[in-house]
Amino acid sequence: MVPKIVEVFCWGLLISFLGSLPLGTLNVAAMQIGIQESVYHAMLFSFGSLLVEMIYVRISLLGIDWVRKQARLMRIMEWITLLIIAALAVGSFLAALKEGVDEKNFLLNNNLHRFVLGMMMCAINPVQIPFWFGWSAMLFSKNILQPVNSHYNSYIIGIGFGTLLGNAVFIFGGKWVVSHISGSSNYINWFVGTVFAVTAVIQLVKLLRKKGNIAS
């Protein structure tokens, strides 16, 4: 029989790992940093983002009622996220247009510590709160997760490892692609720009739909 605390850890790890695999702002940014800078910097970025994600999960477990009341703050953060994603898309396209030069996205071309950058980019991404609230509610309903500190701590540590593993897939996968395909760095910029552009459009549609629902 698997100890309950280990089961909770495994659920946190699995949900976080699978949730990190779809293309998104943070994992694609980690991949780009890994390709254009180093795996070390990309891992620092990942550690920063997963730290904030773990904090968000803790908030979702203990203070979801307060968070739900901060609708205006969440909306402002969503618009800021949209602007940053759009800027990342533009920056990646501009870098891709400069053929023959290993250009960085201008939002990543700075001296900000990568751990801090990861924290900042994750902090303005409020979509994680409803995501984790939904999964946590499901685990509570199945009596897998219980409202005790030992379960919370095990769950959050599992989430951290899951996010780290998910980002590692992108970081090392991106490095492998670059090492095996000639001129792939330029292709990566086009690919990253497209991902960010599509993400920005989806985010904009969601925000406009929310606005329409509120107006009606």
What pLDDT digit, counting tens, does each position of 40-72 carry?
999 999 999 999 999 888 877 876 556 556 667
At 1, the pLDDT band (50, 70, 90 cuts) reads low
Comparing CA positions, the residue from 173, 144, 152, 136 lying closest to residue 35 is: 173
Highest mean pLDDT among 134-138, 145-149, 162-166, 181-185: 162-166
- pLDDT value at position 181? 66
- pLDDT value at position 79? 78
Residues 1-13, mean pLDDT to the nearest whole number: 86
Mean of the per-residue pLDDT values of the chain? 79
Which has the higher per-residue pLDDT, 132 or 48? Answer: 48
Residues 113-124, mean pLDDT to the nearest whole number: 89
Look at the block and give the residue holding tokens 């602007």: 83
- pLDDT value at position 106? 58
One-letter amino acid for residue 89 of the chain: A
Domain carrying residue 56:
4-215
Which has the higher per-residue pLDDT, 106 or 216? Answer: 106
- pLDDT value at position 184? 59
- pLDDT value at position 159? 94
State how far the Cα of 130 lies from the Cα of 56, in Å rounded to an integer: 10
Residues 12-23, mean pLDDT to the nearest whole number: 87
Residues 125-148, mean pLDDT to the nearest whole number: 79
- Structural domain tally of the chain? 1
- pLDDT value at position 128? 74
Residues 72-101, mean pLDDT to the nearest whole number: 72
Residue 77's alpha-carbon distances to 71, 72, 73, in angstroms, are: 10, 9, 6
At 16, the pLDDT band (50, 70, 90 cuts) reads very high
Residues 98-115, mean pLDDT to the nearest whole number: 68
DSSP letters, the chain, are ---HHHHHHHHHHHHHHHHHSS--HHHHHHHHHHHHT-HHHHHHHHHHHHHHHHHHHHHHHH-HHHHHT-HHHHHHHHHHHHHHHHHHHHHHHHHHHSTTS-PPPTTTSS-S-HHHHHHHHHHT-TTHHHHHHHHHHHHHHTTSS-SSHHHHHHHHHHHHHHHHHHHHHHHHHHHHHHHHSTTHHHHHHHHHHHHHHHHHHHHHHHHHHHHHHHH-
Residues 103-130, mean pLDDT to the nearest whole number: 77
